[in-house]
Amino acid sequence: MKCPRCESTSYRKNGRLKARQRYQCKICGRQFLEPLASQPPASFLDERWPTVRNEQNGQTNRVEPKNSLPSPQTASFTQELLQLFNSPEFLKSPAFQHIIQTLHGKQQTQISSDSPISILLLDAENLNDLDGDVESFLSDLSRYPLTVKLAFANWKKTGGDSELFQRGYQMIHVPLGKDSADAQMIAMGAAISQHYRHAKEVFVCSSDWLLTYLITELEHQGFLVYRVSKKHPKQLPKIITVEQMNTGEIKSYSLRENSEIPSPQELFDKIEALISETHDSLEERLKKLSKIHQLFELEKKLNYYQTDSSTPSSELNSTPVQSSSISEQILEVVSASDSIKNKVDLEMAIQSVLTACLNGSKAKTTILISELAIEFKKVYGESPKTLIKKLNLGSNLCKFLQKCERFAVSQNKNVYQVCLKNTSASAINSQEELEKSLIEILTKLEPKYLNSLVPLEVLSQQFQLDYKISLSNLLKELKIATKVLTFITSSDAFILKKQQNKHHVTLAKK
C-alpha cells in the first residue's frame, strides 16, 4: 500500500474511521484509509455457506450455492448476448445510441462537478480562536465553497485537535520547534495548485510574519488570498481581522459578540434606523396619550359644570358653549396635521413655523433643523419627519429641506441649520455678480484685520448673514465650484494666503 499523494510506503497507523484503518504518511502528512477489497476472501464466503448435517454418519457438510458456477445454458446465453452486442446492426440501432448519450451525460456531469473551491490553512499554534462561528464568517466572505481545511500544529502539546478533526480538518503534525508549523504551511501552501487544481481562493490563518512569503507566492500564482489574524492580541484579544490581500479590504469579527463588526457607515445606518424606529413608536404613543389627556380634561370640566349646584343658571346655560369651544380646540390640535395633504402644504407649514421662530428672535437669521422639528410638532401635533414618510417624500427632514426652493440649508461643524432664502441672494446669477458681492464684503472687513487679511471662514459667515444662504450652497446652485476655497483660488479678484494653518483672503491690487 502506498500514499495516494507522494506514493511513499512510509506511513503509520492513525486510528480508525467507521471500522476502517486510517494511516498517516510520514513524508507529506497525508491521511488516508486502507483500500477496500474488490470482493470478500474465500474464507469469508465459506463461513457463510449453509451447512447440512448428515444424520447417518453425524457429520456436517457445507453445501455450495447452486449459482456459484454458471450453468451451460447461462454460458450459451451470455455468448449469444456478446455476439449480438458486437454485431453491426446493434451498433447502428437507436438502443445503442441511447446508451452512448447516457454515458456522455454522466461524463459531462462529472466534469462540471469539478467547480472552483476555497482552501483554509490554519496555524493552530498561533491562532487558536478559530471556532465554528468564525469559520462560518469566513465561508460567507469566500466566493467559492470552503472545501479543504488543513490545520498545522504539534498535536502533542495542543488540546484542540479533536474539535478540529470533528469539523473536517486534515490534521498535519509537525515536530516540536520554533516556526515548525509556519515552515510546513509554507511548504504545503506553495504547492496547492499541484494538489488541488480547482482551488481559486486561499485563507491563510496566522499572525506570524513568516507567512507573508506564502501570501506573496500565492498571489503570484493567481489565487485570491485572505489573511486571517489577530492584529493587536494584547489590546483587542477578542477581535479577528480578515484582510483581502488582492484589494486591501478589511473585515473584522468580534469573538465576544459572535458577529461581524460593521463599517462606520453601516453602523451609522443601523443606529439611525433604530433611532427612527424608536422615535416613531414613541411619537405614536405620545400622540395617543396626548389625546387621552385632553379628553380627560374636557370630561373633568364637563363634570364640574354639571355637579356644581351653586353655579348660576346663566353659567349653566353657557356651559355647552364653553364645552363646545374646548372640544373644537381638542379637535383642532388632533387633526391639525390632517390639513397637510401634499408637498406644497408641507412646505407652507414649515415656512410658517420657521418665520415665526425667526421673528421671535431678531438676532437669529438661521435656526437648527432639530429646533424647527420641535416647534413644528408643537404646532401641528406631529413631527415633520412622520409627515414626510406619510406623503412618500423621503425619510429625512434635512434632505427634504435641501430639495425645497423656499429654504437654504447650511452646515456648521456637523450641525445643520436652515433659513429662508433671501431675495437678494436670488439676484446673484453669475460668477461676476458673486465676485462683486464678495468684494463689497471684503471692503468692509479689511480695515478690521492686520494687513487686510480676512480669514476665509469669517468671509463665509458674513456672506451667510448678509444673504441668508451659505456661500458653498450658492456656488453649487450656480454650478461654479464645489468648494469655497476652489472658487477663491480660481478668481483673479482675490489673493489667498495661508498663515498658521488657516486661509486668509484679501483683494487683489489692480
- Which residue ranges make up each domain of the chain? 117-261, 274-332, 335-416, 421-510
At residue 35, does pLDDT exceed 80?
no
**What are 412's three cell numbers?**
456648521
Helices (DSSP H) in 157-260: which residue ranges?
Answer: 161-166, 180-189, 192-195, 211-220
Q: Which of 1-5, 165-169, 324-328 has the lowest mean pLDDT?
A: 324-328
**How far, in Å, CA of 229 to CA of 207, rounded?**
5
Mean pLDDT (whole number) for 278-288: 74
One fold for both 117-261 and 421-510? no
At residue 202, does pLDDT exceed 90?
yes
pLDDT, residue 201, reads 93
Closest CA to 504 of 461, 458, 466, 463: 458
pLDDT digits (tens, 9 = 90+) for 79-97: 776 777 667 777 777 777 7
At residue 335, does pLDDT exceed 60?
no
At residue 222, does pLDDT exceed 80?
yes
For 428, other C-beta atoms within 10 Å of its C-beta total 18
pLDDT digits (tens, 9 = 90+) for 244-253: 888 888 888 7
Q: Which of 208-212, 254-258, 462-466, 506-510 has the lowest mean pLDDT?
A: 254-258
User: Please, which pLDDT band fits residue 362 given cuts at 50, 70 and 90?
Assistant: low
At residue 390, does pLDDT exceed 90?
no
For 217, other C-beta atoms within 10 Å of its C-beta total 15
At residue 220, does pLDDT exceed 70?
yes
Q: Is the pTM of this model over 0.75?
A: no
Query: 117-261 is classed in which CATH architecture?
Result: 3-Layer(aba) Sandwich (3.40)
**How far, in Å, CA of 372 to CA of 175, rounded?**
71
pLDDT, residue 57, reads 55
- Residues 6 or more apart whose CB falls under 8 angstroms from that of 217 comprise 189, 190
pLDDT digits (tens, 9 = 90+) for 295-304: 676 666 555 5
User: Please, which pLDDT band fits residue 109 given cuts at 50, 70 and 90?
Assistant: very low
At residue 40, does pLDDT exceed 60?
no
507 has which bridge partners? Answer: 494
Q: Which of 161-175, 336-350, 428-442 has the lowest mean pLDDT?
A: 336-350
pLDDT, residue 174, reads 87
Mean pLDDT, the chain, rounded, equals 75
Closest CA to 194 of 174, 212, 217: 217
Bigger pLDDT: 72 or 481?
Answer: 481
At residue 401, does pLDDT exceed 80?
yes
The CATH number of 421-510 is: 3.30.420
Dihedral in degrees, nearest 10, Cα atoms 368, 369, 372, 374 = -100
